[in-house]
A and B are shown apart, each in its own frame.
Chain A
Amino acid sequence: MPLNDLKSGILLFVISAVIAFESLRIGIGEWNVPGPGFVPFWAAVIQACLSILLIIVTLNEKPAVSNKKWYEKVLWQRWGVTLASIIAYTLLLEHLGFIICTLILIITLILTMDRRRWKLALVMGVFASLGSYLVFAVWLKAQLPKGLLGI
């Protein structure tokens, strides 16, 4: 997929340029006393060279015949809801507590995939939240956030 390589190559080049400038700001030091920016600076320089190389190689390649765009095939809605639910879980975990958050998370995730399976979602939610609480908090003594219910 030459077009993808071209895009990612340009992005990686921009990243390396930013890192290189930032490293100079932190201070690369002298050869005999390398500073904190020394290694990231040279790593960024090498990365910049490699990204240019990638771009050159890609430009010399013949474009693929069927250049299907991968992002047209992704079910972005499902993807987005899944990602959003784990982010929400993380944000709410220390406020609502482990059991409540896990229950909601599991139910949401299963219903996102298949709206008709609400019975399965409920059973799995209860089973997973209580089961993992027993294994991690009770048996392995991990400190999971307590939250509202105080457990």
Chain B
Amino acid sequence: MEQELWQNILYGFQVSFQPGNILYCLIGVFLGTLVGVLPGLGPGAAISILLPATLKITPVGAVIMLAGIYYGAMYGGSITSILVNIPGEAASVVTCLDGYQMARKGRAGAALGISALGSFIGGTLSVICLMLLAPPLASIALRFGPPEYASLIILAFVMLAYFASGSIIKALIMGTLGIIIGCIGMDTITGTIRFAYGIQILYDGVGIIPVIMGLFGISEVLLNIESDIRGRDLLFTKLKGLFPNREEWKRSIGPILRGSVIGFLLGILPGGGAIISSFASYTVEKRLSKHPEQFGTGMIEGVAGPETANNAACNGALVPLLTLGIPCNAVIAIISGALIIHGVQPGPMLIKEAPDIFWGVIASMYLGNLLLLILNVPLIGLWVKILKVPYLILFPLILLFCLIGSYTINNSISDVFIMIIFGVIGFFLKKYEYEGAPLILALVLGPIFETALRRSLLISSGSFSIFVTRPISATLLAVAALLLLVGAFSKRTFIKQGQEE
């Protein structure tokens, strides 16, 4: 078993070290850092835009590149948080609290350095966990039938509500709305067309990619143009000493190790992911600190922990996709879409049917994390310059890329219209304080859930006992019930506490 694992890892490195794949990895992490730096363009929108561009390359190369964008964005996001107090993307919001304060005290270099090194360590540790955990999980998943999948997705929805950053009721409403939108188009079991009302473009259903581009790309632009778009005040201190000093190192090791564990575990959970794990890590560090009152004044612990956690979460999030075929957040859903477009079905069979993708992508993440570390230390000057690009120039380009991206998925303007419609919907959702992420997750999981649920009921001739008499399914539902109970009794989760602070 152990020897087999080593062989697989070696095979993975052989795949990822092919010159083409190294190049895709490099392009991925570079673009990832770029979108992480640019506020108003997150990894979700960026991966959607680039997805059609990957159709021409090999499936392995495509996924290596898209995954690179995802974890690369986490690096980029921290740069803007620290230097200008603007989170480049949501997972770096907490980094602003102490990172920007460190920069004001002249320790911008150390803050950037520790977040790069922390991200590297967190990324690497979580890849090791991913490698150890995924194969046994995949073999368990092979025993999953429709009832198990249905129960698993119910658990996912419960977790989604549990981890909601705003109102739980609103998150659940977005979830049900996502399921309903997922039902549009042809019913896979009976072939009936649902909710299309003669509109041809709805017959095939609403694609995930135009929806994500609309909710995260177009709507962001619509939100941003209404406010002042002139240049932001940047903090330009001389970046001296990118490496933290000995004392700062000593204070950071604990947060980095804890951040790796928190990030990986929260990354695996559906509805979890980078954003939540960064908040959770910050809260934990503050609790454990001897000087909690100094958090927010430039504590390096408050930078090291969350930055490590959000990177570790990116890797953790790949576990359910590669083993169960279930994407647990919006970005992973697009990567899942990319696999399917390339004719690879994510799920428990992936490790057997496409070992090059499974091991190659995992190994590429070591490489990617190393590339990011090498890239970002000398390139910080470049990223700071990019920050100075005015939004006036940026927003037409973001819109253009979204338009091109949505058009080239199927070479049809119907996807472009779906994207624009969801852009407008996303704008109003933001204004009325609803989150887009649960909607997208439900849109992705909805069709899987529907098929699993209806098949289960067909098997059991309409009896719901099938969900509680099968051990795996019963366990999953029990965990879901337990979470609901805990959630009902504790009014504030630790994540919310972190956000309030």
A26 x B432 contact (CB < 8 A): no
B408 x A32 contact (CB < 8 A): no
B173 x A51 contact (CB < 8 A): yes
A117, chain B: closest CB distance, angstroms: 7
B195 x A40 contact (CB < 8 A): yes
B53 x A90 contact (CB < 8 A): no
A103, chain B: closest CB distance, angstroms: 11
Known: A39-B453, A40-B195. A90 touches B417 (CB 8 A): yes
B192 x A136 contact (CB < 8 A): no
A residues lining the B interface (CB < 8 Å): 1, 4-5, 7-8, 12, 15-16, 19, 22, 26-27, 30-40, 43-44, 46-47, 50-51, 53-54, 57, 70-71, 73-75, 78-79, 82-83, 86-87, 89-91, 93-94, 102, 105-106, 109-110, 113-114, 117, 120, 124, 128, 132, 136, 140-144
Known: A33-B458, A36-B189, A93-B407. A47 touches B176 (CB 8 A): yes
B residues lining the A interface (CB < 8 Å): 52-53, 56, 167, 169-170, 172-173, 176-177, 179-180, 183, 187, 189-190, 192, 194-195, 218, 221-222, 225-226, 229, 392-393, 395-397, 399-401, 403-404, 407-408, 411, 413, 416-417, 420, 423-424, 431-434, 446, 449-450, 453-454, 457-458, 460-463
Other than A12-B177, A33-B458, give 7 A-B pairs with Cβ distance below 8 A: A1-B433, A35-B190, A43-B183, A46-B176, A75-B226, A113-B395, A143-B408
Find B177's partner among A34, A35, A47, A71 (CB 8 Å cutoff): A47
B224, chain A: closest CB distance, angstroms: 10
B302, chain A: closest CB distance, angstroms: 30
CA distance A36 to B185 in the complex (A): 11
A87 x B195 contact (CB < 8 A): no
B56 x A32 contact (CB < 8 A): no
B226 x A37 contact (CB < 8 A): no
A109 x B433 contact (CB < 8 A): no
- For this complex, 26 residue pairs linking A to B, each with C-beta atoms less than 8 Å apart, are A4-B433, A5-B432, A26-B194, A27-B192, A30-B462, A32-B457, A32-B460, A38-B454, A39-B183, A39-B446, A50-B176, A78-B225, A86-B399, A90-B416, A105-B396, A109-B395, A110-B392, A110-B396, A113-B392, A124-B396, A132-B404, A136-B404, A140-B56, A142-B53, A142-B408, A144-B408
Known: A86-B218, A86-B399. A79 touches B225 (CB 8 A): yes
A109 x B396 contact (CB < 8 A): yes
A36, chain B: closest CB distance, angstroms: 4
CA distance A150 to B240 in the complex (A): 54
A82 x B172 contact (CB < 8 A): no
A144 x B180 contact (CB < 8 A): no
Known: A4-B432, A36-B190, A53-B169. A120 touches B417 (CB 8 A): no
By Cβ-Cβ distance, the 3 closest A-B pairs, closest first, are A32-B462, A31-B462, A47-B176
